[in-house]
Amino acid sequence: MAEKVDCAVIGAGVVGLSIARELALAGREVIILEAESAFGTHTSARNSEVIHAGIYYPTGSLKARLCVAGRKALYGYCAERGVNHKRIGKVIVATDDTQLEGLKKYKKQAEVNGVDDLRMLTRDELAELEPAVISTAGFLSPSTGIIDSHGLMLAYLGDAENRGAALVLNSPVTGGAVESDGIRLEVGGADPMTIVCKTVINAAGHGAPAASRAIAGIPPQTIPTNYYAIGHYYTLTGKTPFNHLVYPVARQDWLGVHVTIDLGGRCKFGPDFSWRDGLDYRFDEGREARFYEAIRRYYPGLKDGALQPGYTGMRPRITGQGQEAVDFVIQDHTVHGVRGMINLYGMESPGLTSSLAIGAYVGELVANDRS
Ligand SMILES: Cc1cc2nc3c(=O)[nH]c(=O)nc-3n(C[C@H](O)[C@H](O)[C@H](O)COP(=O)(O)OP(=O)(O)OC[C@H]3O[C@@H](n4cnc5c(N)ncnc54)[C@H](O)[C@@H]3O)c2cc1C
């Protein structure tokens, strides 16, 4: 006999945990199914840990809306729940005159997105704020910050568990079907089980398209192909010469090799961008020369030997090489025709910043689904 479950969330990354929290706070009985032996070991543990202001994203996109709303909510939540974070601020810099246009575009897009606190900096101000950086122009984003992503996930999980939610580890969703009395899920692992759920949220990150494909009844044409775009981080040995995060104007489809400072005061550079065939976090040390070259465009003081291989992260892309990155894709029955099923695809940056707002957004879709 299959066990009846009110609501199952597939995936215990920052997105799945935020959604589980939201649903548990709304009084739903929630089970979180996680394939790994711990929560948050994939993209949510392999990112820049930046609270983004919401500058770059296209007008009206979910990324723009959920990032700005999520960032505002996140600062309040972190303060209330004691999640370690810092509103450190970020300077975005042009390193030559050809990038001035890019800088102006960012400023304009930020205003459209409701990021109204950017401040253009004079060359003198830039030199005073970031003496190690050479730049021709730039602006300051005071509301950009850094966060302990593990601490954030722990807080989401704590809130959810306090309202009765259960996290079940080593429990990959391997199959299922849309049936008359709910959505059946086959859960593998050491203790396989079958459950029938009123509501299923597929927040499996890289595994989300595969999880959808494994559930008979979800129209295959609504399920995107996933692609894997890796980003490498190098760490800087010694004391950080920077006071803020430093982002050069973006090149092509990534934000350039930028400077991030973690909550321990350590400095890292990245992520870069290249394609992989599958989920493969191996660090390619052959990228070092390109990092030195890109960083020295704005930080000429970088000494030979100062960079150490750090870690990698993989963007859960749903568009491939030569195609533009797309918006977050969050599908309910109006897209795929299955009542009670919500699928989240392409949850790359700024998914961490947006997580509370994604939780609220999905919570609303679920409430409307039942009405
Ligand atoms: C290089 C990089 C840098 C980034 N930097 C930032 C940043 O600075 N700021 C920001 O806001 N965002 C950033 N992001 C984006 C952010 O990290 C992601 O949007 C967010 O972590 C996605 O969370 P998630 O829960 O969707 O995915 P994940 O964290 O990957 O979680 C998905 C979970 O689902 C589980 N799973 C998979 N398949 C199954 C299955 N079949 N059954 C059960 N469980 C399954 C996995 O084990 C995993 O735990 C960055 C992303 C990358 C790649």
Q: For 190-205, how does the pLDDT look when each residue is reduced to its tens digit (9 = 90+)?
A: 889 999 999 999 999 9
Tokens of 83: 């999640």
Q: Over the stretch 121-153, which tens digit does the pLDDT of each residue have?
A: 988 999 999 999 999 899 999 999 999 999 999
Q: pLDDT value at position 257?
A: 86
Q: What is the mean pLDDT of residues 272-278?
A: 94
Report if pTM > 0.75: yes
> Is 230 a pocket residue for ligand 1 (Cβ < 6 Å)?
no
Distances (CA, A) of 227 to 206, 207, 224, 230, 349: 9, 11, 9, 10, 15
Q: pLDDT value at position 256?
A: 67
**pLDDT band, very low/low/confident/very high, at 250 (cuts 50, 70, 90):** confident
- Kindly tell me if the per-residue pLDDT of 20 is higher than 70: yes
Q: pLDDT value at position 251?
A: 65
**pLDDT band, very low/low/confident/very high, at 254 (cuts 50, 70, 90):** low
CA 279 to centroid of ligand 1, rounded, Å: 12
Give the residue, out of 22, 44, 152, 233, with the most ligand 1 atoms within 8 A of its beta carbon, to mutate for a pocket test. Answer: 44
Helix axes 351-370, 14-25, angle to 10 degrees: 40
Q: pLDDT value at position 122?
A: 87
CA 18 to centroid of ligand 1, rounded, Å: 12
Tokens of 346: 């392409």
